Amino acid sequence: MKDFTAELAELDEQSLRRTLRWLDGAQSREIFLDGIEGLNFASNDYLGLANHADLKTAMLEGVERWGVGSGASRLITGSMTAHGMLEEKISELKGTEAALSFANGYATSVGTVSALVGKGDTVILDKLSHASLIDGARLSGATIRVFPHNNLEKLERLLESCSKTDSRVLVITESVFSMDGDVALLGDIIRLKNQFGALLLLDEAHGLGVYGENGMGLSEYLGLSSEVDIHMGTLGKAAGVAGGYIAGCRDMVDLVVNKGRSFIYSTAPPPAQAYTAMKALELIVSEEGKHRREKLWDNINYLSQKLKIEGTSAILPWHVGESEEALALMESLKQKGIFVPAIRYPTVPRKTARLRITLTAEHSREDLDLLVGKLVG
Ligand SMILES: *Cc1c(COP(=O)(O)O)cnc(C)c1O
């Protein structure tokens, strides 16, 4: 039997070993990482809400009103007023009949996908779908089919091949792909899923807060919200707090309440978390939220133009290739006070290691110029 030390040594040899890096203080534009002070280009806190004064106040208020823990799963006695307030806000903003919240996005994906499809059904995923969606599909017992990233021809063929049965077919895609920062061909995907009578789950983890007049995501921006059967997302990225949600028709949500194992067999998230997330959504649609979104897009447009890469989201990949090279570049930037994470196998395919630059509304022009100087000299 191979011992743990040997397995870790193997990871080390391939430059694939991961270790935790410790952050001092709050998430913000400037952080202390492993004791070094520098600029944070590594957070998904796109609007800079994680350390927002109003949200800190909301969290404290939530604790005052409801204590720190929820004490039970939602179906026992853990469904508290704050969870209901959050869900009402989500369905109002998404324009759906109902919504359901979870402790985080991971639990949302796993619980929802495995509740909505099962043995005999089919899940069709974009090849670059997030691990949580893949895990949900595996757990469901449904047949899993994968189409190459954004490849509509292949998606059409897959839909065709399973359209003859009366079992459920669920197409899954993300609005923004988390490691490449590019977007789904949502209009075409919707046309196809409608043509073949399939359902669509859209994961807006990196879309919420970033796109659309109200910041409700790519589906809002493209005017396609009502065509999405299952809206999904996290409240831990642009919303700056923690949690996950789905939104859609009442029966879909009720089915997840009844069959979503990560929902049923888990203590409800702290009510103060749900309350703060609700306040974060209010902030996202407010004038201030709009202003922060504009600032974020100014930053995206500026940096992508300077680095001559596409800027379709707040995630800008700087391609390197080999894992060792990406790690070395990350280290050298870190020593110069710039934090950009290296992303490598197995998160992305081998030989496609990259630095994953994430921008927020908090970055200044000078911050971006500093990064550009270090990357392209
Ligand atoms: C981060 C992420 C999740 C998981 O959300 P958490 O709240 O972090 O658990 C799900 N899907 C995608 C695409 C993500 O990027």
pLDDT for 98 = 98
Picking from 182, 191, 201, the residue whose alpha carbon sits closest to that of residue 133 is 201
- Whether the CB-CB separation of 27 and 51 falls below 8 Å is answered with yes
Q: Residue 373 — pLDDT band, cuts 50, 70, 90? A: very high
**What pLDDT digit, counting tens, does each position of 164-186 carry?**
777 999 999 999 999 999 999 99
130 catalytic? Reply is yes
pLDDT for 330 = 95
Question: Is 292 a residue whose pLDDT tops 80?
Answer: yes
- Whether the CB-CB separation of 171 and 196 falls below 8 Å is answered with no
Tell me the mean pLDDT in the region 263-285. 98
206 catalytic? Reply is yes
Q: Residue 377 — pLDDT band, cuts 50, 70, 90? A: confident
CA distance 100 to 107: 12
CA distance 125 to 190: 14
pLDDT for 34 = 84
Rounded distance from Cα 1 to ligand 1 centre (Å): 34
DSSP code string of 138-183: HHHT-EEEEE-TT-HHHHHHHHHHHTTSSS-EEEEEESB-TTT--B
Cβ neighbors of 129 (< 8 A, separation 6 or more) are 172, 173, 174, 203
Rounded distance from Cα 235 to ligand 1 centre (Å): 9
Catalytic-labelled residue, pool 231, 237, 295, 363: 237
Closest residue CA from atom 4 of ligand 1: 105
- Ligand 1 nearest atom to the CA of residue 235, by list position: 7
237 catalytic? Reply is yes
Instruction: Using a pLDDT cut of 70, give the percent of the chain over it.
Output: 100
231 catalytic? Reply is no
pLDDT for 158 = 97
CA distance 97 to 59: 27
Rounded distance from Cα 231 to ligand 1 centre (Å): 13
291 catalytic? Reply is no
pLDDT for 265 = 98
pLDDT for 21 = 86
Rounded distance from Cα 47 to ligand 1 centre (Å): 16
Closest residue CA from atom 2 of ligand 1: 205
Greatest CA separation for the chain: 60
**What pLDDT digit, counting tens, does each position of 27-74 carry?**
999 999 888 899 999 999 999 999 999 999 999 999 999 999 999 999
Question: Is 25 a residue whose pLDDT tops 90?
Answer: no
Pocket of ligand 1 (CB under 6 A): 104-106, 109, 130, 132, 174, 178, 203, 205-206, 234, 236, 244
- Whether the CB-CB separation of 92 and 237 falls below 8 Å is answered with no
Q: Residue 318 — pLDDT band, cuts 50, 70, 90? A: very high
| Among 126, 173, 178, 183, residue to substitute to test ligand 1 (most atoms within 8 Å of Cβ) | 178
Catalytic-labelled residue, pool 206, 279, 295, 363: 206
* SS3 call for 329: helix
Put simply, whether the predicted model's pTM sits higher than 0.75 gets the answer yes
CATH architecture of 20-51+286-376: Alpha-Beta Complex (3.90)
Rounded distance from Cα 237 to ligand 1 centre (Å): 8
Rounded distance from Cα 106 to ligand 1 centre (Å): 6
Tell me the mean pLDDT in the region 198-215. 98
Closest residue CA from atom 8 of ligand 1: 105
pLDDT for 163 = 73
**What pLDDT digit, counting tens, does each position of 139-168 carry?**
999 999 999 999 999 999 999 998 777 799
Other CB atoms within a 10 A radius of the CB of residue 119 amount to 9
CATH topology of domain 53-285: Aspartate Aminotransferase; domain 2 (3.40.640)
CA distance 295 to 361: 5
What tokens were used for 307? 């680095």
331 CB-contact burial (10 Å; exposed 0-12 / middle 13-18 / buried 19+)? exposed
Question: Is 298 a residue whose pLDDT tops 90?
Answer: yes
CA distance 356 to 342: 6
Cβ neighbors of 374 (< 8 A, separation 6 or more) are 333, 336, 338
pLDDT for 173 = 98
Closest residue CA from atom 6 of ligand 1: 105
Indicate the domain borders of the chain.
20-51+286-376, 53-285
Closest residue CA from atom 14 of ligand 1: 205
94 catalytic? Reply is no
- Whether the CB-CB separation of 270 and 339 falls below 8 Å is answered with no
Tell me the mean pLDDT in the region 211-231. 98
Mean pLDDT computed over every residue of the chain: 96
Question: Is 270 a residue whose pLDDT tops 80?
Answer: yes
Catalytic-labelled residue, pool 83, 94, 130, 295: 130
Tell me the mean pLDDT in the region 183-196. 98
Question: Is 347 a residue whose pLDDT tops 90?
Answer: no
Instruction: Using a pLDDT cut of 90, give the percent of the chain over it.
Output: 92
Q: Sheet holding 36-40: strands in order across?
A: 23-24, 30-33, 36-40, 338-339
CA distance 176 to 208: 10
Tell me the mean pLDDT in the region 206-230. 98
Q: Residue 15 — pLDDT band, cuts 50, 70, 90? A: confident
Tell me the mean pLDDT in the region 282-291. 98
pLDDT for 24 = 87
Closest residue CA from atom 7 of ligand 1: 105
